[in-house]
Structure 1
Amino acid sequence: MRAVERKFRRTGYAGTSVDDIAKAGGLGRGSLYAAFGDKNTLYLETLSAYCDRNEAGWAAVLDGPDDTALERLRAYLVKSARFVHEDPDGLGCMVTGFVVEGVDHDPRAEARVRQALASIGRSLTECVRAAQRHGDLDPEADAAEVAHLLMAVNRGMEVMARAGLDTAALDRVCDHAFQGLPLTARARSLWVPRSAATP
C-alpha cells in the first residue's frame, strides 16, 4: 500500500492509471479489482492511511509542556521547510497534493482531507495556547488565527520546495514567518534566527 501511496503522491490521482497502481503494488488488474474494487476506493484507502500518519506525526511534534511550546511551533516550521527535500523522491504531502490537484474526487476523500487539516489545526492551536500561557506569545492573539497562519506557511513552503526553492532559502522563510508571530518582548529578545545559526 505504501508503494501505491507514493505513486499517487508522485503523479496525482488523475495522472495515475490502474496499470500504474497494479505495477506499484505488484498486483495484476484482476487482483487489484478483487481487493479494492476500483481506483477511487484504493485512492481513498491510501489517502486515509496517509492522513492518519500525518495527523499523528504532527500531534507528536506539537504536543508537550507549556515551557517548550514555542520551540515546538518553530520545529513545525523547520520540519515543513525540510519535508520535500528530505524525501528520497522529493515528494510532497498527499493532503496538499489532493487540494492542489483540484480534480473531482469521491466526496469522502474531500471530507477526509478536511478532517486531517482540522486535526492538525487543533494541534497547532493548542500549542499556540501553551506558548501564550508560558508568556512567549501575546495572550491577546487569536490562537486559531496564528495556527492558520502557520499552516498556510507550511503548505506554501512545501509548494515552493517542489518548485525548486532550496533548503537555505526555506530556512530564511521559516525565520521570517517565525519573527512575524505575536512574540512577547521576552521571547523576541531570546530568539535567534535559524538561518543565522546555520553555516
Structure 2
Amino acid sequence: MGRPPGFDRNKVIQLVTRQFRRTGYAGTSMDEIGKVSGLGRGSLYAAFGDKGKLYSQSLADYCARNEAEWAAVLDGPDATALERLHTYLMRSARIVHEDPERLGCLVTGFVVEGVDDNAAADARARQALSAIERSLSDCVVAAQRHGDLDPAADAAEISRLLMAVNRGMEVMARAGFEPHALERVAAHAYAGLPLTRSS
C-alpha cells in the first residue's frame, strides 16, 4: 500500500482552482501552480497528472460546489419560488464583488477561453450549466404552480434568460461596474418576468 500524500488534496485543488480563475488555463503555468499549492512539480504530477488533468479536476470540484450553492438558493417550496428567483438575480449582481479578488466563475472562464482538447472539462462544464438550468427551470415551474408566474410561459426559456443575465452581470462586474448598477439590472430583469397580477 502506497504512502498517502502529505498534503490536503481538497485544499490544494481549491488553491489551484483560484489560480485558474485568476489567470485562466493558458495563463497559468505549472510553476505558478506549484507556488500557490506549495508543491513541487513531481508531487503535482504524481498526485494530479499534467496541467490539463489538474484543470479538469479543478473544474469538476468547482462545478460540484457551484451547483450545490445555486441549488440551495433555488430549491424550496412553491410558495417562496418567486422570492428565490429574485434572490438568484440579486446574488448574481453581487457575487463577483463579494470575492476579495473579484474572480469570476471558472465555468464562464472555460467557455470564454475556449480551452482546446480537454473533453473531460468540456463535458463537465456543459453538465454544470445544464444542472443550473434545471434548478432554475424547476423554480420557475414552482412559481407557476403557485400562481406567481404566467403558467403559459415557457419555463426553459425563462431559465435561460436568467442564466444569460447572470453571466452578463459577471462580465460587467469584472469590467468594473459597481454592485448598485448591477442590482438595478437584476431589478429590471425581475420586473421583466411574466408576473401575474396576484404576485
TM-score tier after normalising by the smaller chain length: over 0.9
The match for 1:107 among 83, 99, 119 is: 119
The residue correspondences of 1:18-37 to structure 2 (distance < 5 A) are 18-37=30-49
Instruction: Tell me the distance in 2 between the aligned counterparts of 1:41 and 1:28.
Output: 16
The residue correspondences of 1:90-101 to structure 2 (distance < 5 A) are 90-101=102-113
The match for 1:86 among 82, 90, 98 is: 98
Deviations 1:85-107 (A, max 9, x none): 00011101111111111231411
- Partner of 1:183 in structure 2? 195
* CA apart distance, 1:186: 2.0
The residue correspondences of 1:35-184 to structure 2 (distance < 5 A) are 35-184=47-196
SS in 2 for 1:185: coil
Deviations 1:108-138 (A, max 9, x none): 1011000000000000000000000111100
Instruction: Tell me the distance in 1 between the aligned counterparts of 2:170 and 2:151.
Output: 29
- Partner of 1:12 in structure 2? 24
What TM-score do the two structures reach when normalised by structure 2?
A: 0.92
* CA apart distance, 1:73: 0.3
Q: Which amino acid aligns with 2:53?
A: T
Runs of 4+ with deviation above 6 angstroms: none
Q: Which amino acid aligns with 2:158?
A: V
C-alpha RMSD of matched pairs (Å) = 0.7
What TM-score do the two structures reach when normalised by structure 1?
A: 0.92
* CA apart distance, 1:30: 1.2
Deviations 1:122-165 (A, max 9, x none): 00000000000111100000001100000000000000000000
Counting matched residue pairs gives 187
Instruction: Tell me the distance in 1 between the aligned counterparts of 2:46 and 2:152.
Output: 56
Instruction: Tell me the distance in 2 between the aligned counterparts of 1:16 and 1:93.
Output: 16
Deviations 1:51-98 (A, max 9, x none): 000001111110000010000001001111111000011101111111
Q: Structure 2: give runs of 5+ residues left out of the alignment.
A: 1-12
Greater helix percent: which structure?
Answer: 1
